[in-house]
Structure 1
Amino acid sequence: MSSEAASLLTFIRPDWSAPPNICALCTTRDGGVSQPPWASLNLGAHVGDIPEHVAENRLRLSGACSLPVDAFGWLNQVHGTEVVELFAGGLIGIPDADACFTRVSGRACAILTADCLPVILCDQDGTTVAAAHAGWRGLCNGVLENLVASMELPGKTLMAWLGPAIGPQSFEVGPEVKAAFIEQDPRSEVAFSSLGAREGHYMADIYRLARQRLEALGVKNISGGNFCTVADTQRFYSYRRDGQTGRMVTLVWKN
């Protein structure tokens, strides 16, 4: 792969106050070799794309990040709450998990999304990085709580960035989703609105729900949360919009 190919990738870089040794980015759909409906920088190996195309896209990502191809901690995301520590030994293959963290330099936590919320975290001293796949099920059931507990760091020492996800004007849900969140935390009710939704349904603000969960954990330094994967057709994949589609990746690592 040429450096010219790697340079075709376009990224969103978090606007957050992370220490200088912390690196993070989210890919867009530009700069890869995948053909429709996965065009073009699909990084998901589980969505029906040609494996060689995914491999080339991941190779381009590796070059653009100046990281080895084996430095990415891919997960088999299952909309659960399992957390794994990456690159610490003991893991075989790609683990079934929806959140991860590492204290190893030069190794990236990776979360694949196409509407679900990617959340990345680091501590103010730059010792630990973490990432979560916070779809509504995982978010409701405690994936962020499990992740912060696994990091074994006080919430007040952490900072978070909320990456591209389905926005509050596009995320219509049924009453069971609202009820599930309110059962966990009655304050969640403010994140649901009937305005713009079908009768008996609600528009959900997954960004607000995530902020509530993080703040309850003591995480006050929270950035991001101003995207909509459904509305931004040029930059983002969206499963709700397109059905069969590719996946972006949100990465965080420390140097």
Structure 2
Amino acid sequence: MNQWDMNQWDMNQALGLNQNKNVFFNAQWPAPASVHTLFTTRQGGVSQPPFSSLNVGAHVGDNADAVQHNRALVQQQVAKPLAYLNQVHSADVINAVSALTALQSGTPANADASFCHRGESAACAIMTADCLPVLLCDRAGTVVAAAHAGWRGLANRVLQNTVEAMQVNPLEILAYLGPAIGPEAFEVGAEVWEVFCLKQPKAQTAFTDIGNEHYLADIYALARLALADAGVHQVYGGTECTVLQRERYFSYRRDGKTGRMLSAIWLE
């Protein structure tokens, strides 16, 4: 038995983690009853510093057994198999069932968003540690999606592509903005300002000039603009800051070498 094995008492404790709001939480939005969500925090796992403790990222240098163990703890909370992606800051969207098949073959699919229709057995899953996780569903509960929306993905229209892949009327889509780097912590250079504001002057409202060609960027505001551009206006969440909430969230901007949280959505 290695250090990641747990005896029955420990396993019982782990299976009770869903009672602890400091470990897991759900989107607060008017989604249909068939839509289920899960967000993890950095708490409740077995990884050691600097990945302590519920790191689900297999690509960050953490012990592989610890990551596998953490993913198993998270999977206990999700009724469908989690379809992890190999996220590359693209705007590519994939069906979650296809992503799950690729994952089970040992080579996660290169994509930054996934969708899943009613009747398909997979959960859309996104890993983040400052980038914005966006969960989406339609009011009829026929399709869900999850997108990894860092500034590069937003600039490349990952949210618009995700909405299009859902193949429903955008006016029927709800979106939830999960934990990400907040507007008080997201300092960027002129190159990021130019990517958004030269193409879309309205995006200037998401930037605060702090001098020397540096800005504070509001990734939540940029996401709302992208969703509006796609025809989605029912948007919820967008109040957390992964950088400032040190005890609750992993943050790449704050810590550099760190773990990843999970955001998931599925249909039952």
Q: Is the 8 A contact 1:159 1:222 kept in 2?
A: yes
1:89–1:139 CA distance, 2 compared to 1 (3 A): closer
- Post-superposition CA distance 1:151-171 (Å, at most 9, x none): 111110100000000000000
- Post-superposition CA distance 1:85-120 (Å, at most 9, x none): 121599533110001101144521000000000001
SS at match of 2:266: strand
- In the alignment, structure 1 segments of 5+ residues that lack a partner are none
- Post-superposition CA distance 1:184-225 (Å, at most 9, x none): 32110110001xx35220000000010011112111110000
1:90–1:239 CA distance, 2 compared to 1 (3 A): closer
- Post-superposition CA distance 1:124-160 (Å, at most 9, x none): 0001010000000010111011111111111101000
Tell me the residue number matched to 1:113: 128
The answer to whether structure 1 residue 58 and structure 2 residue 105 are counterparts is no
In 2: Cα distance, 1:55 partner to 1:121 partner:
27
The answer to whether structure 1 residue 94 and structure 2 residue 108 are counterparts is yes
The answer to whether structure 1 residue 225 and structure 2 residue 241 are counterparts is no
Q: Is the 8 A contact 1:105 1:253 kept in 2?
A: no
Q: Which amino acid aligns with 1:7?
A: G
Query: RMSD in angstroms over aligned alpha carbons?
Result: 1.6
In 2: Cα distance, 1:90 partner to 1:100 partner:
10
Tell me the residue number matched to 2:3: none
Tell me the residue number matched to 1:46: 59
1:163-182 aligned at under 5 Å gives the runs: 163-182=178-197
In 2: Cα distance, 1:29 partner to 1:127 partner:
31
SS at match of 2:249: coil
Instruction: Tell me the TM-score normalized by structure 2.
Output: 0.89
Q: Is the 8 A contact 1:109 1:251 kept in 2?
A: yes
- In the alignment, structure 2 segments of 5+ residues that lack a partner are 1-5
Tell me the residue number matched to 2:16: 7
Query: Which moves more between the two structures, 92-101 or 121-130?
Result: 92-101
Q: Which amino acid aligns with 1:59?
A: A
What percent of counterpart residues are identical?
Answer: 48
How far residue 3 of structure 1 moved from its aligned partner, in angstroms, is 3.7
In 2: Cα distance, 1:88 partner to 1:240 partner:
31
Instruction: Tell me the TM-score normalized by structure 1.
Output: 0.94
SS at match of 1:87: helix
- Post-superposition CA distance 1:14-61 (Å, at most 9, x none): 111100010002100111000000000000000000000000001111
1:94-243 aligned at under 5 Å gives the runs: 94-103=108-117, 104-194=119-209, 197=210, 199-243=212-256
Aligned residues, how many?
250
Q: Which amino acid aligns with 2:57?
A: G
In 2: Cα distance, 1:105 partner to 1:138 partner:
26
Tell me the residue number matched to 2:85: 75
SS at match of 1:251: strand
In 2: Cα distance, 1:220 partner to 1:199 partner:
35
Tell me the residue number matched to 2:262: 249
Equivalent in 71, 74, 84 of residue 94 of structure 2: 84
Query: Which moves more between the two structures, 149-158 or 235-244?
Result: 149-158
